[in-house]
Amino acid sequence: MNGALLGLGIDSVDIPRFAQVLDRRPGLALRLFTPGEQDYAAGLANPVPSLAARFAAKEAVMKALSVGLGAFEWVDVEVVRAESGAPRLVVTGRAASLADDRGITGWHLSLTHTDSVASAVVAAVA
């Protein structure tokens, strides 16, 4: 995946605010996150920073594709962990169709978080 850069997206999420939203709307996590993402986060002492980073990754994918909210389902983008522990993207459904239309053949992902902010950077490549 060393091809040409076709899109770049970055997003940050306020973790305490995200925690409040999830508390107020418990069913929201089912709409935003795949079962695999939910299972991974459930195994953590505090799942909110991990979920916030994954939400930021999904928004960063939208930006890398130059589309807005509603262009694809949140669960069309999944953050998984490679054997090394590095995060990587699995893009399916409408998000994959949009990527194919733009000639995107691969993704690079970086996630980070502090106690208060989670961020993701996504690069779409050909």
CB atoms within 10 A of CB 22: 18
Closest alpha carbon to 74 in 6, 27, 23, 14: 27
Q: What is the dihedral of CA 90, 94, 95, 97, to 10 degrees?
A: 100
Residues 87 and 122 sit within 8 Å (Cβ to Cβ): no
What is the reported pLDDT for 2?
63
CB atoms within 10 A of CB 84: 6
Sheet holding 5-14, edge to edge: 5-14, 117-125, 106-113
Mean pLDDT across 11-40? 96
Mean pLDDT across 27-56? 96
pLDDT bracket for residue 87 (50, 70, 90): very high
Q: What is the pTM of this model?
A: 0.94
What is the reported pLDDT for 86?
94
